[in-house]
Structure 1
Amino acid sequence: MGRQAKANAVVPLPVRDGVAPSYLWLDDNPPGGALAFLAAHFGDVGEAVWRDRMARGEVVDASGALLGPDSVLRRGMRIWYYRELDAETPIPFEEEILFRDDHLLVVDKPHFLPMTPGGRFLHETLLVRLKNKTGLTQLTPIHRLDRETAGVVIFSVREESRGAYQSLFQKRQVRKEYEALAAPLPALTFPLVRRSRMVEGKPFFRMQEVAGEPNSESVIDVIGAHGDTMLYRLQPHTGRKHQLRVHMAALGAPIINDSFYPDALPCKDDDFANPLKLLSRSIGFDDPLSGQARRFESLRTL
């Protein structure tokens, strides 16, 4: 599959409707022309679609030269194009910008909205929405939230200062606090620390705990009762995929409406009335440029 261009990459096609072009790197010398290769490589995109894209000048090489149906392809070439979807399900929830300066854009993400393009989502992603809303073409997420998770997420506005903020996350100098609704755990004493070794599980999109040296750590505490459930405060000290969801399920209190843990439920359409009850409540850190203490908090509730 093609890869989307990074914000700081030199690319021969401009950002279009908030979507950066994608590229495909050729590892060998494919037989036939560009049209035959692309139609074969992307089996779900027919020749007619690629022919139309070529006619519109939207398939080029790294120098920006147009590629036509009979263009010869060679090993080491990059083919640039725009990813397109015939139909995309609208996500009926809006993000909210919490803060913006010359270096950062802080956003309150709704449930169900993916961070970046992928799979069946392109325009209905937080990154593309924000590029269209702000005009910031270099916008790049510094960290990620699951599509199912809502709350505070931070984007870099410019390449020059991006590394300074990324290093905060790499060095674990960011204070992240989440909230979750789940069943009570009366047999446990809070706060507690959950440490475990997490690896990719089955199906491929899930994570699982296994024996071995821990590579994940979460601090879990109780905020208070919420009807028949409890509201928990979760502080991840590491950033493993689905970490909080896995840890809560392992304790015997999976987060409400979690379709992945403890068991993966059959695939179905999004149930917008029943979002995952997990919220990125706040993010805090000492700004690496100004030294100022910063804390951003979600306006959403569970």
Structure 2
Amino acid sequence: MEQAAWFGTPWPEFNHGLIYTDTVKYAPSASPQSLLDFYSLRYKESASKQGWLQRIRNGQIHVDGNVIVTSDSILRNGACLEYVRHPWREPEVPFRLQILFEDDHLVAVNKPSGLQVLPGGLFQQRTVLTQLQWRSDSSDKQATHGIAALHEKDLWKPSPVHRLGRGTSGVLLCAKSPAAKSQIAADLAAGTSASSRSRCEDDSEAERQITKTYRALASGIIPTDEVVVDQPIGKVRYAGVAGGLYMACAGGKPSRSRVTVLQRNLIDNQSLVEVQIFTGRPHQIRIHLAAIGHPLVGDPLYLAGGQPRPLSTTAISRNLEEDLDPADDGGYQRPSFALPGDTGYLLHAWHLSFIHPVTTERMNIVAPPPPQLCAPHE
């Protein structure tokens, strides 16, 4: 059926804030904790001890449904906690998405660089997921198929089946039903598992349920026309990233990419490349190109070797909630070094090939690359 080529709703000035919940669970030999110690020890990346004290005094912490402003209150085992984070202005990002393909089961969109896929960190509202849900809600309001049909649709909202980095543009596949999402997720997992076990360079696309091909602009001149990168990728502790940072790591998970050079720019000392990934590790292309000595042009984080920049060499100064003074919420200021979500590089999910989860047809979705990533004669 015919669909509009583009969709998107402008972002409101403020999001709705967030409520984080916890349940107090003590080990048998543990001593009870104060409210301040519970938060400041468990969530050091969110705020300093002084910051958590400020949040408590602001009345932002509820214990068993009651606002508690006494920081040394002792928490009972099983207590239900809520931290209420005030609404804030999220950073400016694009809101319009181009539809590349859509049927009753799937929608593929061309994600712009700068727009996050799922909520996280600063971006809780300004995400692809939110725009998909708003579009679905708008369609529900216009539906004329009766109350039962509307109720059935409300049980499921479109949802991305994989991720692209915030700075990455291109094809993003989203499911419109639980069955479609489950099947695509299984195909993605099967492909990653098979490629992790195989060291064979003849990875047959015909035998893979899903293949993902990217365009990227790498620094330096890559001398060979094709390079297969098998650098493992692991997670290492890193300041400012609560769960750790992914990087080239000998003890990491098996990871595999094929890099094909499309053009060498001797004047600017850059290589336009096409990258097919056989595993789906976070930041895989950024790390793999850096690992072979050719990090993405403009990448603020990864250096040659696949390691992050030393913490003292970057200078990025923004408040954690942008225009919201951290003093209003007790939050940290944004670290002065690069983080994984920072943009500036050119990476585009150009081509996605997959087996349709319902029709079983082989689908090929292409997102036109930006001019800087167009191959000669395209």
**TM-score of Structure 1 vs Structure 2, range by shorter chain:** 0.7 to 0.9
1:221 aligned residue: 260
Whether 1:96 and 2:98 are equivalent positions in the alignment is yes
Match of 2:214 in 1: 178
**Deviations, residues 240-267 of structure 1 (Å, cap 9, x unaligned):** 1111111111111111110111143525
- TM-score with structure 1 setting the length: 0.73
User: Structure 1: which amino acid aligns with 2:106?
Assistant: L
The alignment partner of 1:247 has SS state of helix
The reply on whether 1:139 has 2:158 as its aligned counterpart is yes
Partner of 2:300, secondary structure, is: coil
Separation of aligned partners in 1, 2:106 and 2:237: 36
Matched, 1:249 2:284: no
The normalised TM-score by structure 2 is 0.59
| 1:165 aligns to 2:177 (yes or no) | no
Is 1:119 the counterpart of 2:121 in the alignment?
Answer: yes
Q: Deviations over 1:8-64 (max 9, x none)?
A: xxxxxxxxx99897652414388999xxx999988374555648xx9xxxx9x9xxx
Is the 1:100–1:106 Cα contact (8 Å) retained in structure 2? yes
Aligned partners of 2:110 and 2:169 also within 8 Å: yes
Question: Distance in 2 between the 1:283 and 1:138 partners?
Answer: 22
Specify which structure has the higher proportion of helix: 2
Alpha-carbon shift at residue 276 of structure 1 (Å)? 1.1
Q: How many residue pairs align between the two structures? A: 268
C-alpha distance in 2 between matches for 1:286 and 1:230:
32
1:281 aligned to 336, 350, 358, which one?
350
Give the AA of the match of 1:121.
Answer: F
Bigger radius of gyration among the two = 2
- Residues 15 and 89 of structure 2 are in contact (CA less than 8 Å); yes or no, is this contact kept in structure 1? no
Q: Which amino acid is the alignment partner of residue 98 of structure 1?
A: L
Distance 1:78 1:103 in 2: 39
CA contact (8 A) 2:213 2:349 kept: yes
Supply the distance in 1 between the matched residues of 2:279 and 2:136 (Cα, whole angstroms). Answer: 31
CA distance in 1, matches of 2:107, 2:317: 31
CA distance in 1, matches of 2:19, 2:157: 15
Q: Give the direction of change, closer, same or farther, for the CA distance of 1:45–1:112 in structure 2 (3 Å limit).
A: farther
Which moved further from structure 2: 173-182 or 148-157?
Answer: 148-157
CA drift at 1:93: 5.8
* One-letter code aligned to 1:211: A
**8 Å CA contact 2:18, 2:86 repeated in 1:** no
**1:5 equivalent in structure 2:** none
Q: Between the two proteins, what is the percent identity of the paired residues? A: 27
Give 2:174's aligned residue.
155
User: Is 1:195 aligned to residue 197 of structure 2?
Assistant: no
- String of CA shifts for 1:255-287, please: whole Å, max 9, x gaps: 1110111143525169xxx83111111111111
Residue of structure 2 in register with 1:106 after alignment: 108
Distance 1:167 1:18 in 2: 33
Write out per-residue CA displacement over residues 57-105 of structure 1, whole angstroms, 9 at most, x where no aligned residue.
Answer: xx9x9xxxxx4448xx976676688865322222146332322222222
Aligned equivalents of 1:292 and 1:84: distance in 2?
47
Whichever residue aligns with residue 126 of structure 2, its letter is E
CA contact under 8 A between 1:18 and 1:128: conserved in structure 2? no
Structure number with the bigger relative contact order (C-alpha 8 A, sep ≥ 6) is: 2
Alignment partners' CA distance in 2, 1:101 and 1:122: 28
Compute the displacement of 1:151 (Å): 1.1
In structure 1, runs of 5+ residues without a counterpart are 1-16, 62-66
Please list, as runs of the form range in 1=range in 2, the aligned pairs for 1:25-36 lying within 5 A after superposition: 25-28=22-25
Q: From 359, 364, 372, give the equivalent of 1:295.
A: 364
Structure 2 residue identity aligned to 1:191 = E
- Contact kept, 8 Å, 1:38 with 1:50, in 2: the verdict is no
Matched residues in 2 for 1:119 and 1:83: separation? 12
CA contact (8 A) 2:17 2:87 kept: no
> Are the structure 2 counterparts of residues 261 and 38 from structure 1 closer, same or farther at C-alpha, using a change threshold of 3 Å?
closer
Taking a change above 3 Å as real, the CA distance of residues 82 and 109 of structure 1, as seen in their structure-2 partners, is farther
SS at match of 2:289: helix
Partner of 2:21: 24
Q: Which residue of the other structure, out of 246, 249, 257, is the alignment partner of 1:207?
A: 246
**Structure 2 CA distance for aligned equivalents of residues 221 and 207 of structure 1:** 24
Where does the alignment leave 5 or more consecutive residues of structure 2 unmatched? 1-13, 27-31, 69-74, 138-153, 192-208, 319-342, 373-378
Rounded Cα–Cα distance in structure 2 between residues aligned with 1:77 and 1:103: 42
Three-state SS of the structure 2 residue aligned to 1:201 is: strand
Question: Offset at 1:220?
Answer: 0.5
Residue 125 of structure 2 aligns to which amino acid in structure 1?
H
